[in-house]
């Protein structure tokens, strides 16, 4: 699904990623973990089109999309979320979902003036889809609430809902567990799993909460110092000596538990 080949990205002469390669297979929930400064977010930004690599290539569904803009990647089915949810604070939850589908007739001035029936029909269809997503994610009680008043965990659910409103089926999730209480985190994990199993979504997830990684991710890819150092099942990589040294320096422990 995603094939990052020999990616290098530097900032001011400092290498954030060095000759880094990884693959995200279709239908998986792939975890991307590593200590702070490992290059995970930079690699996400390169894969999602926010940064162009200094060298290397990104392939998506076999097509070379290196340096392609985020909106063009979105049109091809690849979407990135952020650690801090980016909702429209002064719009309701339902409205936040309804703005996602591209090519809406109402966005065209002439259609808005002269094609009322078509615009109205499309708006109703999008509203029905938004209500289906709201029901799927259990957001009914806050559907009419301004998104800016929601908790961090609820905003993460809204962001997940916005992925469902698009045609994207490959999602780069940046720390979905960050700042989320355990109750909402359990809901978020369950919904990611349902999207994967029931609707065929492919996920690549950056996450520091090892409990979330253990529950969701297979395979798990480990980065350190701008490159991939291990890949496999979670119970395998957590015992890998190279991974232990990358996290703790002396191989005296292993990454496990929340925020490891």
Q: Which whole number is the average pLDDT over 238-243?
A: 91
Give the bridge partners for 63, in sequence order.
Answer: 60
Q: Which whole number is the average pLDDT over 175-180?
A: 86
Query: Residue 258: pLDDT band by 50, 70, 90 thresholds?
Result: very low
Q: Which whole number is the average pLDDT over 85-110?
A: 81
Instruction: Considering only residues 120 and 42, tell me which one the structure prediction assigns the higher pLDDT.
Output: 42
The mean of the pLDDT values for the chain is: 88
Parallel/antiparallel/unpaired status of strands 29-33 and 220-224: parallel
| CA triple 138-172-196, angle to 5 deg | 50
Enclosing H/E stretch for 19? strand 14-24
232: phi then psi, degrees, rounded to nearest 5: 160, -165
Q: Which whole number is the average pLDDT over 193-222?
A: 94
- According to the model, what pLDDT value does residue 259 have? 44
Enclosing H/E stretch for 33? strand 29-33
- According to the model, what pLDDT value does residue 92 have? 96
**pLDDT at position 250 over 70:** no
| CA triple 205-227-12, angle to 5 deg | 100
**CA dist list (Å): 241 to 142, 212, 254, 255:** 46, 22, 9, 11
**CA dist list (Å): 135 to 142, 143, 184, 218, 227:** 11, 9, 15, 28, 40
Q: Which whole number is the average pLDDT over 173-178?
A: 89
- According to the model, what pLDDT value does residue 249 have? 65
Give the closest residue to 152 by CA, choosing from 96, 84, 89: 84
Torsion, Cα of 23, 202, 16, 236 (10° steps): -60
Tokens of 89: 């604070």
**Do the beta carbons of residue 200 and residue 231 sit within 8 Å?**
no
Query: Residue 110: pLDDT band by 50, 70, 90 thresholds?
Result: low
Model confidence pLDDT, tens digit, residues 53-82:
999 999 999 999 999 999 999 999 999 988
- According to the model, what pLDDT value does residue 182 have? 86
């Amino acid at each position: 699904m995603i094939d990052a080949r020999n990616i290098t990205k530097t900032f001011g002469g400092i290498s954030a990623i060095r000759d880094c390669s990884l693959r995200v297979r279709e239908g998986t929930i792939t975890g991307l973990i590593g200590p702070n400064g490992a290059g995970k977010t930079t690699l996400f930004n390169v894969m999602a089109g926010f940064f162009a690599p200094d060298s290397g290539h990104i392939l998506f569904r076999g097509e070379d999309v290196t340096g392609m803009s985020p909106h063009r990647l979105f049109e091809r089915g690849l979407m990135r979320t952020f650690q801090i949810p980016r909702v429209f604070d002064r719009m309701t939850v339902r409205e936040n979902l309804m703005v996602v589908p591209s090519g809406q007739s109402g966005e065209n001035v002439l259609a808005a003036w002269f094609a009322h029936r078509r615009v109205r029909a499309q708006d109703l269809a999008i509203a029905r889809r938004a209500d289906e997503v709201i029901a799927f994610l259990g957001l009914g009680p806050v559907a009419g609430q301004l998104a800016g008043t929601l908790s961090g965990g609820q905003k993460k659910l809204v962001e997940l809902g916005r992925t469902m409103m698009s045609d994207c089926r490959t999602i780069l999730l940046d720390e979905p567990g960050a700042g989320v209480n355990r109750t909402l985190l359990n809901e978020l994990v369950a919904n990611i799993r349902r999207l994967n199993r029931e609707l065929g979504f492919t996920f690549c997830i950056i996450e520091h909460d090892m409990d979330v990684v253990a529950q969701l991710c297979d395979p798990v890819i480990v980065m350190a110092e701008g490159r991939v150092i291990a890949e496999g099942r979670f119970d395998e990589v957590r015992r890998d000596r190279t991974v232990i040294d990358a996290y703790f320096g002396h191989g005296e422990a292993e990454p496990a538990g929340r925020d490891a």
